[in-house]
Every structure is written in C-alpha cells, then in structure tokens.
Amino acid sequence: MKTFTSILFSALFVALVAAPGASAQKRRTVKKPSTVAKTPVETKSAEQLIDEYRFAEAAAMLQKQMATAERSKKALEPMTQENLRRARLGENMLRATERVTFVDSLVVDRADFWTRLGLSADGGRLLTAEGLKGIIPSVDAAGEVAYVNDFGDRVVFAAPDTARLLKLFTADRLADGWSEPVRLEGLGDAEEMQDYPFLCADGVTLYYGAQGPESLGGYDIFVTRYNSGTGSFVKPENVGMPFNSPANDFLMAIDETTGLGLFVTDRRQPADKVCIYRFIPSDSREVYDLSTATEADVISKARIDRLADCQASDRQMAAIRERLEAAGTGESEGAAAGVKYVISDRVVYTSLAQFKDKNARQAAQQMLEARTSLEVVERKLDSLRRQYGQKRSAATARDIVNLEQKTVSLRRVVSEQSKLMRQLESRALN
C-alpha cells in the first residue's frame, strides 16, 4: 500500500514530465499575424519610359542592362543601344524645351493634310509626288509632299538616292523647261531619310523632316540655311521640343505674310490622323528654366499636354485675325478647308478620306494638285505680263508663252481628272 508521500511524489513527477510538451503544443497553436499580399510593381520598358518623356530613367535602365549583359557575356537586345541613344538625346532636348506661344490646333486626315495648312498665297504650295509629276513629268519623286515656291519656278522634293534612301533635291524652272534635279548638299547624315521640305520666303531657310541618327522619334523636324559662299546648306539643327517628340513630327512652315508658324505631328493620334499646330514664331529662342520650373511642368509643356497652358493672349489673337484677314487666309481650317469635291447633285465631299473608290480618290487628288499648280502659274503669268507691259523683252515674251501653254495643259488636267473622279466614285456608290 502506497503512502501519501509516494503518491504525491508520483504526481509531481508526471506533471514535470508533461509540462514541456504542453508548452510546446501551446506554442505551436499560437497563430501568427497574417501578412498582406503585396501588389507586384509593373516594370516599364525603356520604350515606354521614352514615350512618357522619362528619359533619365530609361537611360539608367538601359545602362544597367548593358552592364549586366557584359558581365554575363550575353548578347544585347537588338534595340538596346538605339534606345539608349534616343534616351540621351531626349534628356538633352527636354532640358532645352522652348517656350512657345500657340494659337490653335486642328486634327485632320493624314491623307490630305497638306491641303489644310492654310498658307497664304506668298507662302508657296505643297504637292504630293503625283501632283509634282503634273508640273515636271521627268521628276522621279517618291516623298510624301513636295514644296513649290510662290512664283512656281522652284521646287524642293524627296527622291531616292543610289542607296534607295530618300534625299532632298531641287529643280528650277528655266525659259525652255525645268533644270535637271540637283541634290541639296550639306543636309544631315548619309543614313537618314529626308522628306517634307518647306523653303521660307527668304529662299535661304529650309525646314524638313528627317529620320536618322539625330532623330528622337520616327521623323524629327530640322532647320538649315543656305550658305551662298560654299554653295551648300549649313549643318542642320534639330528644332527641339515641343516641336519634336518620340512620335513622328513631319513638317514645319513659317508664313511670313500671316506671321504664323505651323507644324504637323502624329503624336497621340490614330494612324490615319495628324494634328496641325499653329504658333507664333519668335526671333529669340527662350527655354524653360529648370531651376524654377518643375520637371513635371516642363514635360507637360514639351508634350503639349494642355494647349491652354501656353496659348496666345486676346491681344495677340486680335492681331493674328487682322493679319489673316489681310492675307485672305481662313482662320480655322486653312485655305483648302473650303475645297469641295462635287460627285453629283446630291453628293459633295469635303475631304479625300470620304472617297469610297481608291482610283476616284487618286483622280480627285490629282485634280486638286493641278488646280493648285494652275493658281501658282496664273499668278506668275500675271506678274510677267505686268513686267512685259513696263519693259518689253524677248526673254519675258518667251516666258509668257511658255506659261500660257502651261495653263492650257493644267486646265485640261483639272477637267479630265474631275470628270474621271465623278465617274469612278458614282460607280462605286451605285
């Protein structure tokens, strides 16, 4: 029979043996505080950062990728070095963003944007390659637009060189026809594509679009000036931001008569549209001071996020309206905004994009270009007739005869293409 002491000792022993297990079990059943799942941060590509004007971030990312590839002896992605070039160029351009006073903007069909620029009569005309052939049949032009000056005696256009890259050429009207096209010397890099020329009224300053080693986007706008001493153009300069962007910025023109500049871009536009911005040119280039302006504000100005943030004042707009009225230029949609393509008594188009039939559209385009060329030739003809009335000369008489023959030819083209346009489009609608 167990004594009370032995029983108490047994109970204490059992308790001591069981205690550690119970404590461990208790520790195992304690619930840990729940952790909130973190949302993964989206990593943007260098191309996306460039499109967002975050050039410094894009450059840092690309440099890191290149260093990693070098350490691991792996090949770089094909576009890495090109994107690094763009990022560094964009970073420099952003720091030099120009203060620009804008007038307005207009989104138009890319198919006929050149008809919507609203240039004054003294600003010259833009034609397509097909329209240029109506003036100079021998020209092998392949660019999207060509420039003809206000007198109709000089043309600048893009044509393929021996490497099949588009380069700018020029030709002059002579007494017995047109000169052989000559390539413009001194323009850009040998590897770049050139198009969208505009020669200012001074006959010296040339704007054009180029796609190459010094372009941020597809096409960037460049400016150069002719040096009569060397017989070539000086090294072109990228006109910078806000005119250029990671998108395509095609064409810039300065209309001396109206005192307005304009440029054409496809930034933030669908594939079949472009935006025409009008602005007030400045004699001096004033840039944003990054010590007082925030980077976000400069990016917004460079992107032209809000036109109202840098728009002309009421006083400036009043002066612009006066100049536009004096020049006889439409204020909102340009001189060609009133163009009508009469298909029938019931069908009238106001844009080439409205045509259903491709061949009818081409006929309408050739008709419009011939009509535009006719206006240029007729103005030149009037000028020569006045000149001949003041001082008769055999050379002027020959020029008058040549231009009279040209007007007859252009009127015939206008009539024939207009008739063909109506026939083809009416057939497509029926």
pLDDT tens digit sequence for 63-108: 999 999 888 888 878 889 999 999 999 999 999 999 999 999 999 9
Burial tier of 366 (Cβ tally within 10 Å: 0-12, 13-18, 19+): buried
Cβ 97 vs Cβ 240: under 8 Å: yes
- pLDDT score for 23: 47
Beta bridge partners of 275: 107, 265
CA 410, chain centre distance (Å): 31
- Mean pLDDT value across the chain: 83
Amino acid, single-letter form, for residue 285: R
- Compute the distance between CA of residue 146 and CA of residue 173 in angstroms, rounded to an integer: 15
Residue in 212, 213, 200 with CA at minimum distance from that of residue 261: 200
β-pairing verdict for 177-178 and 166-174: antiparallel
Q: What phi and psi, each to the nearest 5 degrees, are found at residue 217?
A: -105, -140
pLDDT per residue as tens digits for the range 201-252: 888 999 999 999 999 989 999 999 998 888 889 999 999 999 999 999 999 9
Ranges assigned E (strand) in 30-174: 101-109, 125-127, 146-148, 154-160, 166-174
Q: Identify which has the larger pLDDT, 285 or 375.
A: 285
- pLDDT score for 211: 94
Beta bridge partners of 179: none
Q: Is the pLDDT of residue 336 over 80?
A: no
Q: Can you list the alpha helix ranges (DSSP code H) found in 79-145?
A: 80-95, 129-135
Task: Please give the biggest Cα pair distance in the chain.
Answer: 156
Residue 52 confidence class, pLDDT cut points 50, 70, 90: very high
Give the tokens for residue 126.
């833009």
Give the tokens for residue 404.
């009279």
SS3 content of the chain, % helix, strand, coil (to 5): 45, 20, 35
Cβ 407 vs Cβ 381: under 8 Å: yes
Compute how many other C-beta atoms are within 10 angstroms of the C-beta atom of residue 328: 10
Residue in 150, 148, 144 with CA at minimum distance from that of residue 135: 148
Give the tokens for residue 265.
């871009």
Give the tokens for residue 250.
């095609």
The number of residues making up the chain comes to: 430
Q: Is the pLDDT of residue 3 over 80?
A: no
DSSP label of 92: H
Taking the alpha carbons at both ends of the chain, their separation in whole angstroms is 122
Residue in 259, 270, 264 with CA at minimum distance from that of residue 244: 264
- Compute the distance between CA of residue 254 and CA of residue 216 in angstroms, rounded to an integer: 22
